[in-house]
Structure 1
Amino acid sequence: MCVRICKIGVVLLMGLAIWCPSARASVGSADSPVFTIDNRGGCGITGVVVQVNAQGRVVGPLSGATVAVSGAGSTITNSQGQYAFSGLQPSTVAMTVSKTGFFIMTREVTLAAGETRNETFQLTAQTGGGTPATFNFTSPNGRHFIEGMPGTLTFAINVAWNGTPGSVMFTVAGSQYPATITDLGGGFASATLTVPAPPTIANCSRLSVLVSNGDGQSTTLDTEVYFHPKPGIVSWWSSGPISWVPIGGKLTHEYQLGWHYEQRFLLGIYRANGGFDVGAGFSFDPRNGQFRAEANGSGTFGHTLEIGNIENISSGTIGLGTGFELEHSACAPPFLASGSMELGFEGRAGIGAPAVVFLDVIVPGMGTTLAGWPVISAIKLRVFFIAGGSLEGTYTAGGGSCFLGASSYAFSVTAGLEAQAALDLGWAEGRVYIGGTGTPEFELCPDLRYNAVTLRLYVGVFASALGFEYQEEVGSEVRLESDGTRGGGSTGTVLGRDAGPLCRPIADRPLKWGEMNRLVADKVGLRNDEAETLVENVTRTATPSVTAEPTETHVVYSLHDPTKPWYAATDIGTLRSLNGAPWTLDRIADDTVGDFGPSLAAAGTTTHLAAWEQVDGDVSGATDPDDVAPYLEIAASWFDRATGLWTAPVLLVNNEVVDRAPLPVVFGTSQGIVWVQNEGSASPGNAQSGDRLMFAAWDGTAWGTPQVLWSGQKGILGLTFVEDAAGEAQVVFAVDEDGDLETKTDRELYGQASVAGAWQTAIRLTNDAIEDSLPVLVAPNGTAVLVWSVGGTLTYTPLVSWIPQPVYAQETLANEAPSLAGITMPGGAAIAYTVQGEEGVDVVAAFYDSVLDKWSLPRQLTHDEHAETSLSLACDGAELVLAYLKTQTERNAVDVEIEGIIYHLENVPQPARTDLCLLRHALGHDLGVQAGSLVVEPANPAPNSSATIHATVENNGDLIAQSVQVAFYDGDPENGGTLIGGVPTLLDLLIAGGSQEVSTTWDVPDFPEAHRVFVVVDPVLAFDDRDRSNNAASTPTVLPDVAIETGWSDQATLHSVLVVARVVNVGTLPTGAFELSWRLGAADGPEIGRSGIANIIAGGANEVAYTWDTTGEVPGEFVQLFVVADDTNAVMEYDESNNAAFQSVQIPLSRAGDLNADGVISAEDVDLFVNVVVGLDADPYHVAASDVDLSGVADGLDVQPFVDLLLP
């Protein structure tokens, strides 16, 4: 690379001049300890030469030593013993260090491209006499070795026999091995040893070398090479032999681990499950004795009910993050620099099932009792198990006996159960709320095991129908054991709940939320999808019905008047807005009878027709809704849009049976009302008292005699109507064939149509063993299309050609509808329903494109924790208009008493005030890039390479998007970015709510510079996109990446240590200039110095040395020294997380009696010793060397031992 650049001269790269200097050696001035090595684009060697005594102890830096590099000349060390070479080429070079009176040292050093090495040489003074001497010891495999390492270990040393040749013995991990000796002539020899790495090591030991000459003289060298047993904490992570894989200078080991649980409860019907899978691994660096371990993973927790009609909704998340950094320092106990484990639980895991099933689990018998209420038995409840917090483990170097080798845990996990669901059947509504908390019980040692959870819960069941409300609130304690049993449970009392019977008239109880039917006058500045509250504080059975045109919106609802007797408290309220003016609130009639379930339809251009259920008769003595139902008749009234007046209500029937669910119908020239009539008092009908489908026509002046369209000893459960392009009526209704609401697979659909305005015989549309329910008719472009639920799957078909197809092309959590409303839209149709999610009950809608014959995926229209119900749809010619009820969810503190103990439950969901709301939704496009989906593979490609760019395009709008362009750019397209691939990617069709991954191949330009790639959806603005802020995304790539690979240290002087960090660039561009910060104790600890690096090429390395003055530190103490690369963020790099590392550095160790650290105890040490003992010298090194008796203090008791050392 360097040669290529130099051929074209100086170039500018990342703002730095790059050139290829010739090989040269340099040192600072004679008294300067600071070197500047200019090695940008080439290789280099820096280092220090120190003198050691015969025992291998550092005496100090050696100045005047000659350092020669083969092919690069030589240099002389300065006063600090430092030298430097730069501009070298990648190769293996021979280094020779010499000085008169010292043994010569030689070493081979391999330089990779862009690498700067740091080499320390220890020269030993030549000695005379008969004692052999050692010098030039090398351990090329490292300084620290652990049991079970692969391969062999090699050691070498030179000896001066100072007599006749003899033998050399190496002691390796407690075992002695004879060396292979090669005569070098002149009384010198080379001794080498290669042995298998020890498979087991019982205790830490130092490598020693015993040299004996033929004259019986010997010397022993204790090296700074150590052998260690596997630390206890590592043994937990890998109890058997470790399959090490050498990578670079380190040994690595990676593996997978996992923890999974599955506990069954309630005779195996209910199953809690969870677990996580983890990628784990650790590394060992023989150069500095560091272990680094890391395990990160994720998983889920959830639960399942293994009975019919169960929906597994979602899972909560489990996250595991653990790791430690441990370093061996000589034979001191391993130092744990960092270590932590956190197993975090967060989120909600949900399942859906009939509410009565859950109620029986939580409060035995409660669900069974309430199953007789159709509105409760029809509710499908989504229960969410909520978990938050963590298990936090701590580590010790020896390892612990608990999960993942931790020695102890801090436990802060809480669990809870929460649910809220609501359902409106038109004639009745119901809702269930559950909330509470508990503490899971875990066994942590020796392994992680989930034992049980005890939940203390609030359970509230609410229902309303025909002027009555049902309210039951209880406390419950449920313990779910791990052995598959329900470990007990109790029910209790909710303190402070309303007294009175469970079922009672609504009367004036809504007044606790304030005045009822408060008209909200402000109607200004509403945006698309912004809900408008029309009336505050209505009942939960207000059941609005809406019609809409460009200039008029009209709503009717059941208005509750608390000033009237409970049995006559409901009137039909009307809300009207003309041309966007404020709403007006009125009543069709202010009477003394009960009115429920209104339905409104446009009848031509001048009138609206309303129909509802009206109580006809005395029901003042009724005690529940069943007592009121037989008195229900069908009432109707006409609205004159010009005068704004309603006609007096007229009863279409007057009988002693149930008449319900009226539906105004207008087709061709016919106008009338379709409704359901029972032959007795059943609602819905059954085998003993069947239902009929009725129709009464309006002849322009009066209502005609009702006619029976269909009848059977069955129950009608749902009814829908639409007018087709020919002006004919199409009606579809759902029938419970056996009249038993507890069996659902026998529910089928029937259809009835008019021909030339005359009703034809009903026909059965479905005949299967699956529940067919919730029919809704729409007529896009005049073609009648039926949408309904088939066993929970929304399905559609044109009536003219029966070809049922799923509405949704893929599964989502909002696919299943508890109720269903629909409306014809220009070019298609819309359906809407409510879905219980993790935060509340919200409205979702789906939109049909009749040309493409495709539906959007569910689009969420409301986003809050409140409960929306009672949907009514209209279209004003352009927008979807939605009237609905919103029951606020309050989070309250609730006290429950269970077996005499009062438990305080926080954040329990409960129903509060209900409002009548209206929402307008304009259908539109909203294309975007999925957050976080823009990915480059490889993530950080090199110049002149090939990469693949991926992104996911989302259709967040309501309309299907065709021929969507997606363009990738190298650089900001708004500022000259280049289109990648030449042409944009084209997506043929993207349904609303759908997503699709796109990718392109990118030929990374040859010029070495950083890039930012962009993806833009719809770059030519072909779509009228309502939100362009999400149409683009970008990410940087082709970057340098500074990392600290490893580090080590050597004693430099009596009061200094040379610390070295190997800094690498694992990125794909040169780094440019940056600095290293050396810090004590932590990556953000006190700074002790800084070092500069001019540049590291891609793939290059620089071994940077810093001389740390340890004056004032305690001799022999191990200190954690951190090095942080680029703490000022001078380098725009790929990954900042690898910029720091630590090493344990030993403060130069004193030798008893050798106060001046010259390797001998002599008269020169006496004065220093005396000054310490009498208190005149407090130098930590001198004090430690004066503590000859190792008592911890230097005092008079050390005098005699000192004399013994002085005069052996």
Structure 2
Amino acid sequence: MAEGGAEVSYAALQTAAFPYPEADLAAADSQLYAVWLTDDPARASLNRTKLVFSKYDGSAWSAPQAVCDDGTADFHPSLVMFSDGWAAVAWENGDRVLPDTAGFEEVKQNLEICAALYDPAAGAWLPPHRFTTNNYLDRNPKISGFDRNHLLVLWTANPNNHVTGNAANPNSMYASYLSERSGYDTNWAPPQMFWSVGYPVLKYDALYMPRQESGMINGLMASLDMDGDTSTTADREIWRVHHYDNQFGFYWDSPNRRTYDSVPDENPQFYIGPEGLSYYMWLKDNQIVKIRAWYGDLYGAVHTFDEYNSNLTGFRVVKSPGGRVAVGWAEASEYGSDLWTIFYDPATAAWGEPQQLTHDSAVEKFPVFAFFGDDRLVSLYDRKEMSQLQAARTTPGGRAALAYTPSYGPTGLYALTYAVRTDIALLPGSLTIDPENPAPGQECLLSVTAVNNGNTAANNVPVAFYQGDPAAGGILIGQVVITGLMRPGDSQTVTLLWTVPAEVTGTVTIYALLDPAAAVAGDDTSNNRLELARVKPDLRAAWLASRSLTAGLLSLTGRVENPGVTAAGPFQVQIRKDRPDGELLYQQDFDGLAAKAIGEFNYRWESGGVAADWLYLLVDTGGAVDELNEGNNTYILKLNAYQKGDVNRDWKVNIADAIRAEAMFLGIYAPDPGLADMNGDGLVDLVDVKLLLERCASWLETQ
């Protein structure tokens, strides 16, 4: 399935998927591979998570194929690929097929670390290499490398089978290289323990690149929980361990703590910057920050959020071949959860603001990201449809009510493809004039807001204002330059003083045009123009009054005003009964109305003595006048404010009115059909008395 707009499309890889796919993506140039966990119902219950692989060719994903279909459970894959199409994946692989009766301890002991290479010519995965064969927990492998002959796999082991590790149950960090520098250029080196960690190891990342070229050094960045209590966050700190590959040898350095503060430091990740230098990012409280890997302690903020958000601890950072960087994550939204991203534009060295990728009622979570080429960002994620179930219920007070509860459909594994674009625009509805409707010769302030909806920055962009359409000879009023960069997601409001020409006699249309010379390359110019018509008349239905002349004959006087700044042309005035489209009582044509002028009219209406009526004074019913505000073209007059049933005219409907209506029926009082005729048959009889009594019963219940 594929759907979406010009910038974003969606494809369902699996519609009834395993709800925790632990997907990973890897890209090289215009190639993209994916791995994830799927559910194999043919296996026994504790062995059903199977690692599968798929390729994206720019338009479709290949059918999933197993990486190693050995019948055992797979978890936590980590994927890397190279420009020649080769790839490598490391994952947790079950040591044996587990029976349904196996407990959690046995499951932990059963996990071993494996890695396999993908041969693009054969279109198949080579037999896996197993790094561990033991009876304790091995978990969370990370793989990195720069070709199929230079690879690093890191993982965490705990000989006491403790899930997170602590001082009493320390973790052991292991590494294995495939490299001629390690002495193992055709096979993996034996695992080497390089760090004993007496703290819970939360998240970490590995980097293995060429030998310190362009400032790249290999190693590990990790987030540790320093008090051993994973329910608290302020004590989470960043650590690093260098691995040297230089003229002095091939070895691991001592671990080094990088943060000392009382805020959460979480989820460190490496990436290679556009200049070829290595960096890492992490979440520091409410900021995503970055620092040059291995060098110094000064960091810069990619973005500062309003507050710390645990959703951000799952962010991922990826880079395109041309140096564009994206930081993506899933976050709670008005619908439940959506995908967000921040883009880095290498051409201007500018980070943008957060931009929302999905806007739907489904819940999106567990996203991973990669670039397909330079101009397409791809994400794999869980997607679950959400709807509201409606059910009737009774409140404790006995009232009927409706209750709404969320309902979730099956989980699907989806791929989103987002086309990176250049798109500066004028925000719809942002063009304004102050005062709202200036008069000829009056000074006013023009204002409009420019936004960057795209993913590239724009520099020193001008905004031009015109009197009249610039494409049809409009007069340039002036131009304002948005100084500096408009980063992705930015907005900026510009203003310009203008005096309306004194010779103007009618409506003036103001145009705002962003980047009038179309200097921003690749920009979508369809949203760079706004217009606003002002210097207008403004017809208003001022009032409608009535005066009784004789029984059943009313004199109606109405007033129309033009508080606008220019004259209004011919228009029509109507009076209608009960509704704006009700019975037409009166109609008059006006030749026009000068600015600030008023017009009045009078009409004698034979009302027939009705007790209550709504009369509507309607101005410019045909819409002939182009005016400032058509919301003031109606005035409503209520004749006789007594409601039906208020027979004694005391502003209430109660038992006294029913008694008086009965007296009218008996001839004690003269009938008053206007207020006592409840069924509208023109009479006051026992039916009306009965209806009034029912109305009184409702009134009594509210007292």
Q: Secondary structure at the match of 1:782?
A: coil
Q: Secondary structure at the match of 2:15?
A: strand
1:654 corresponds in structure 2 to 133
Equivalent of residue 607 in structure 1, options 86, 94, 107: 86
Q: Which amino acid in structure 1 is aligned with residue 623 of structure 2?
A: N
Q: Tell me how far 1:833 sits from its aligned partner.
A: 0.8
Contact 2:238 2:257 in 1 (8 A): yes
Indicate whether 1:1085 and 2:582 are aligned. yes
Equivalent of residue 1130 in structure 1, options 624, 630, 642: 624
Indicate whether 1:919 and 2:416 are aligned. yes
Equivalent of residue 267 in structure 2, options 768, 774, 779: 774
Q: Tell me how far 1:726 sits from its aligned partner.
A: 4.1
1:714 corresponds in structure 2 to 199
Q: Which amino acid in structure 2 is aligned with residue 786 of structure 1?
A: Y
2:21 corresponds in structure 1 to 542
Q: Tell me how far 1:696 sits from its aligned partner.
A: 0.3
Q: Which amino acid in structure 2 is aligned with residue 959 of structure 1?
A: T
Equivalent of residue 1011 in structure 1, options 499, 508, 516: 508
Structural mapping, 1:603-682, within 5 Å: 603=82, 605-617=84-96, 619-620=98-99, 625-667=104-146, 670-682=150-162
2:659 corresponds in structure 1 to none
Q: Which amino acid in structure 1 is aligned with residue 355 of structure 2?
A: R
Structural mapping, 1:368-517, within 5 Å: none
Indicate whether 1:1072 and 2:543 are aligned. no
* Distance in 2 of aligned mates of 1:626 and 1:973: 75
Q: Which amino acid in structure 2 is aligned with residue 1045 of structure 1?
A: A
* Distance in 2 of aligned mates of 1:754 and 1:562: 43
1:444 corresponds in structure 2 to none
Indicate whether 1:1031 and 2:508 are aligned. no
Q: Tell me how far 1:655 sits from its aligned partner.
A: 1.5
Structure 2 CA distance for partners of 1:996 and 1:558, relative to 1, 3 Å: same
2:634 corresponds in structure 1 to 1140
1:738 corresponds in structure 2 to 227
Equivalent of residue 300 in structure 2, options 805, 808, 811: 805
Q: Which amino acid in structure 1 is aligned with residue 218 of structure 2?
A: A
Q: Tell me how far 1:948 sits from its aligned partner.
A: 0.7
* Distance in 1 of aligned mates of 2:288 and 2:392: 41
Equivalent of residue 889 in structure 1, options 385, 398, 403: 385
Q: Tell me how far 1:1033 sits from its aligned partner.
A: 2.0
2:540 corresponds in structure 1 to 1043
Deviation string 1:446-480 (CA, Å, 9 cap, x unpaired) is xxxxxxxxxxxxxxxxxxxxxxxxxxxxxxxxxxx
* Distance in 1 of aligned mates of 2:169 and 2:401: 49
Contact 1:545 1:883 in 2 (8 A): no
Q: Which amino acid in structure 2 is aligned with residue 846 of structure 1?
A: I
Deviation string 1:551-583 (CA, Å, 9 cap, x unpaired) is 532212223211111233233211124465651
Q: Which amino acid in structure 2 is aligned with residue 1136 of structure 1?
A: E
* Distance in 1 of aligned mates of 2:341 and 2:614: 61
Equivalent of residue 498 in structure 2, options 986, 994, 1002: 1002
Q: Secondary structure at the match of 1:1020?
A: coil
Q: Which amino acid in structure 2 is aligned with residue 620 of structure 1?
A: P
1:18 corresponds in structure 2 to none
Equivalent of residue 368 in structure 2, options 860, 872, 886: 872
Could you say what the CA RMSD is over the residues aligned between the two structures, in angstroms?
3.3
Deviation string 1:524-544 (CA, Å, 9 cap, x unpaired) is 999542112223322122212
Structure 2 CA distance for partners of 1:1093 and 1:649, relative to 1, 3 Å: same
1:786 corresponds in structure 2 to 280
* Distance in 2 of aligned mates of 1:905 and 1:1085: 36
Contact 2:285 2:308 in 1 (8 A): no
Structure 2 CA distance for partners of 1:752 and 1:879, relative to 1, 3 Å: farther
Structure 1, unpaired ranges of 5+:
1-521, 1147-1188, 1194-1208
Q: Secondary structure at the match of 1:725?
A: helix
2:649 corresponds in structure 1 to none
Contact 2:168 2:198 in 1 (8 A): yes
Contact 2:556 2:605 in 1 (8 A): no
Contact 1:793 1:816 in 2 (8 A): no
Q: Which amino acid in structure 2 is aligned with residue 741 of structure 1?
A: T
Q: Secondary structure at the match of 2:632?
A: coil
Q: Tell me how far 1:1191 sits from its aligned partner.
A: 5.1
What is the TM-score when the length of structure 1 is the normalising length?
0.48
Indicate whether 1:953 and 2:438 are aligned. no
Q: Tell me how far 1:817 sits from its aligned partner.
A: 0.9
Structure 2 CA distance for partners of 1:1100 and 1:625, relative to 1, 3 Å: farther
Number of aligned positions between the proteins: 625
Q: Which amino acid in structure 1 is aligned with residue 206 of structure 2?
A: F
Structural mapping, 1:183-222, within 5 Å: none
Q: Tell me how far 1:909 sits from its aligned partner.
A: 2.6
Contact 1:788 1:794 in 2 (8 A): yes
Equivalent of residue 465 in structure 2, options 963, 968, 973: 968
Q: Which amino acid in structure 1 is aligned with residue 202 of structure 2?
A: L
Structure 2 CA distance for partners of 1:748 and 1:993, relative to 1, 3 Å: same
Q: Tell me how far 1:624 sits from its aligned partner.
A: 5.3
Q: Tell me how far 1:657 sits from its aligned partner.
A: 2.0
Structure 2 CA distance for partners of 1:692 and 1:894, relative to 1, 3 Å: farther
Q: Tell me how far 1:835 sits from its aligned partner.
A: 0.5
Q: Which has the higher strand share?
A: 1
Deviation string 1:1121-1148 (CA, Å, 9 cap, x unpaired) is 44222111111111112222245679xx
2:34 corresponds in structure 1 to 555
Q: Which amino acid in structure 1 is aligned with residue 442 of structure 2?
A: S
What is the TM-score when the length of structure 2 is the normalising length?
0.81
Structure 2 CA distance for partners of 1:663 and 1:622, relative to 1, 3 Å: farther
* Distance in 1 of aligned mates of 2:597 and 2:392: 67
Structure 2 CA distance for partners of 1:971 and 1:898, relative to 1, 3 Å: closer
1:980 corresponds in structure 2 to 477
Deviation string 1:416-454 (CA, Å, 9 cap, x unpaired) is xxxxxxxxxxxxxxxxxxxxxxxxxxxxxxxxxxxxxxx
Contact 1:891 1:907 in 2 (8 A): no
Deviation string 1:828-850 (CA, Å, 9 cap, x unpaired) is 42111100112021111111235
2:241 corresponds in structure 1 to 752
Structure 2 CA distance for partners of 1:612 and 1:1121, relative to 1, 3 Å: closer
1:500 corresponds in structure 2 to none
* Distance in 2 of aligned mates of 1:1035 and 1:1107: 39
Structure 2 CA distance for partners of 1:735 and 1:1036, relative to 1, 3 Å: same
Structure 2 CA distance for partners of 1:551 and 1:1049, relative to 1, 3 Å: closer
* Distance in 2 of aligned mates of 1:794 and 1:726: 23
* Distance in 2 of aligned mates of 1:1055 and 1:590: 94
Structural mapping, 1:210-359, within 5 Å: none
* Distance in 1 of aligned mates of 2:490 and 2:474: 29
Contact 2:427 2:449 in 1 (8 A): yes
Structure 2 CA distance for partners of 1:1010 and 1:788, relative to 1, 3 Å: same
1:595 corresponds in structure 2 to 74
Contact 1:610 1:637 in 2 (8 A): yes
Structure 2, unpaired ranges of 5+:
179-183, 641-667, 673-703
* Distance in 2 of aligned mates of 1:811 and 1:979: 41
Q: Percent same amino acid at aligned positions?
A: 24
Structural mapping, 1:561-580, within 5 Å: 561-578=40-57, 580=59
1:705 corresponds in structure 2 to 190
Structure 2 CA distance for partners of 1:1048 and 1:869, relative to 1, 3 Å: closer
Contact 1:656 1:680 in 2 (8 A): no
Q: Secondary structure at the match of 1:538?
A: coil
Q: Secondary structure at the match of 1:567?
A: helix
- More deviation in 619-628 or 739-748? 619-628
* Distance in 2 of aligned mates of 1:813 and 1:1106: 68
Equivalent of residue 823 in structure 1, options 288, 311, 318: 318
* Distance in 2 of aligned mates of 1:796 and 1:907: 44
Contact 2:28 2:81 in 1 (8 A): no
Q: Tell me how far 1:749 sits from its aligned partner.
A: 0.4
Q: Tell me how far 1:804 sits from its aligned partner.
A: 2.7
* Distance in 2 of aligned mates of 1:853 and 1:1001: 34
Q: Which amino acid in structure 1 is aligned with residue 633 of structure 2?
A: N
* Distance in 2 of aligned mates of 1:1089 and 1:1028: 50
- More deviation in 602-611 or 838-847? 602-611
1:140 corresponds in structure 2 to none
